Amino acid sequence: MIFVNDEFYGHEYFHDAYEAFKADPILGDCAGKRFAICSEDPAYVLSVCLYLRQHGGSFYPIFAPTPRLAAKRLANRAACHFLLFDKHQPAMTLQNSTVDKDAVLVQTSSGTTGEPKVITRTWQSIAEEVESYVSFFSTPHTMTPLIACPITHSYGLIAGVLVALKRGLTPVIINNINPKYLLKTLLNTPNHLLYSSPALINSVVQLYPKDQRLHAVMTSGTVLPGAWFDALREKTKHVFQQYGCSEAGCIAINTNTLTANQIGQPLPHLQVFAGNDASCPDEIVITKGDVTIHTQDLGYIDDKGALYFVSRCDDMINVSGLNVYPQDIENVVLEIPDVTEAIVFKRPDPFSGERVCLQFIATNQLEPSRIRHWCGTRLASYQLPVDIEQCEEIEKMANGKINRKALSQSTISIPALG
């Protein structure tokens, strides 16, 4: 059924696991109950997931490196009855008596704009998403999914593992995120489809042998910077991109990504609304039956029905009434030869309302004034970064995303004068 790194777990492994769960006094009586799991063993996590889905239990996967006390807090916050750790370890009983009428997958939002929210989706809604994903996106039917991202998040679990199993494929879950190991696996898997985060994908592109091309890559989570995207396009036969949110799952897929912000055609089981063109973006809103989901993302739909991402609503910077979108500045800064990573965010400003702030990583020390001069010849004056900081590392969350809100609340600030 699956590989975890180089180890194969077949139907026999999952059959034996299910039999053990049925005999367990807690998992054997799982219907209507909510189970959190925090384990470094992807095969065990997946076996619990599939068992609970089949037997009416609810499932909440917690990112494996989370400390136990933190995992307990998360499980309590998500109203779980039990918290599982590694195989053969006793379950922790939690103080929750509410019964789930419909069994659910529990996820949390990314938390890029504040405290992560607990989000539940019924297994039926997950099945509908997977069915729509597979029928709409048929190109990878003969590809081997390499899932180099956590299966505790929707992207890895649903789009990666559950979609692969629905196709009848054998996904390879890679939790040995060592660049050399990942490169070896990619090179040894001819028709691979790599599911990963933008940062890791960019690292793979930089390290991949010059005389080789990646077969297929799926990116998600955030729009790739222009320079990263161009390098990926040059190095990869098939560049796919998907867009989604925790509440709705995957919303759109691009089967032939030509620009970084072109996030694809909406899946057929959803209705998607946004702005009409690049000059007038609006919030991306999803409807499914009677349910309306506000994504808090700005975007637009072109005359061919393709959805484009512009910015998070909360990430847009209002400078004296003029809208500034972080990606526009980031792409310009990344054109500087020494700059390898850039992130733009906002801080309050007593004169303009908000000001543009920049953190960047470079191979050499760069003066803030040089960055500002470079931008000054390529951007409008209201788009220019005011606070500029060079750093060794830009902190990311477990899913590879940047928390711009946290950056905006940081106190380090180096004005770029001159």
Backbone angles phi, psi at 48, to 5 degrees: -65, -45
Residue 201 above 80 pLDDT? yes
Summarize the confidence of residues 245-253 as an average pLDDT: 95
Same fold, 2-108 and 125-312: yes
Three-state DSSP class for residue 293: strand
Closest listed residue to residue 385, CA positions, set 372, 366, 367: 372
Question: With bands split at pLDDT 50, 70 and 90, how would you rate the model's confidence at 351?
Answer: confident
pLDDT digits (tens, 9 = 90+) for 212-234: 999 999 999 888 988 899 999 99
Closest listed residue to residue 157, CA positions, set 245, 1, 42: 42
Residue 112 above 60 pLDDT? no
Separation between Cα atoms, residue 40 and residue 87, nearest integer Å: 10
pLDDT value of position 261 = 94
pLDDT digits (tens, 9 = 90+) for 28-83: 999 999 999 999 999 999 999 999 999 999 999 999 999 999 999 999 999 999 99
pLDDT value of position 418 = 45
Question: With bands split at pLDDT 50, 70 and 90, how would you rate the model's confidence at 405?
Answer: confident
Separation between Cα atoms, residue 177 and residue 209, nearest integer Å: 18
Mean pLDDT of all residues in the chain?
A: 93
CA quadruple 158, 164, 167, 168: dihedral positive or negative?
A: negative
Residue 416 above 60 pLDDT? no
Which pTM was predicted? 0.85
Question: With bands split at pLDDT 50, 70 and 90, how would you rate the model's confidence at 210?
Answer: very high
What architecture is domain 2-108?
A: 3-Layer(aba) Sandwich (3.40)
DSSP state, 352? T
In this structure, the number of other CB atoms found within 10 A of the CB of residue 34 comes to 25
The structure tokens 């991949």 sit at: 208
Closest listed residue to residue 110, CA positions, set 334, 297, 271: 297
In this structure, the number of other CB atoms found within 10 A of the CB of residue 186 comes to 20
Torsion of Cα atoms, 269 then 270 then 271 then 275, to 10°: -140
Separation between Cα atoms, residue 316 and residue 322, nearest integer Å: 10
Separation between Cα atoms, residue 264 and residue 267, nearest integer Å: 9
What are 247's two structure tokens?
A: 């509440």
The CATH number given to 317-408 is 3.30.300.30
Q: Which helix (H) or strand (E) holds 130?
A: helix 123-136
Separation between Cα atoms, residue 418 and residue 333, nearest integer Å: 17
Alpha-carbon 396 to chain mean position: 12
Separation between Cα atoms, residue 113 and residue 314, nearest integer Å: 7
pLDDT value of position 111 = 53
What are 102's two structure tokens?
A: 């419909």
pLDDT digits (tens, 9 = 90+) for 148-196: 999 999 999 999 999 999 999 999 999 988 889 999 999 999 999 999 9
Q: Which CATH fold would you assign to the domain 125-312?
A: Rossmann fold (3.40.50)
For the chain, which residues make up each domain, given as ranges?
2-108, 125-312, 317-408
What are 357's two structure tokens?
A: 């702030």
DSSP state, 99? P
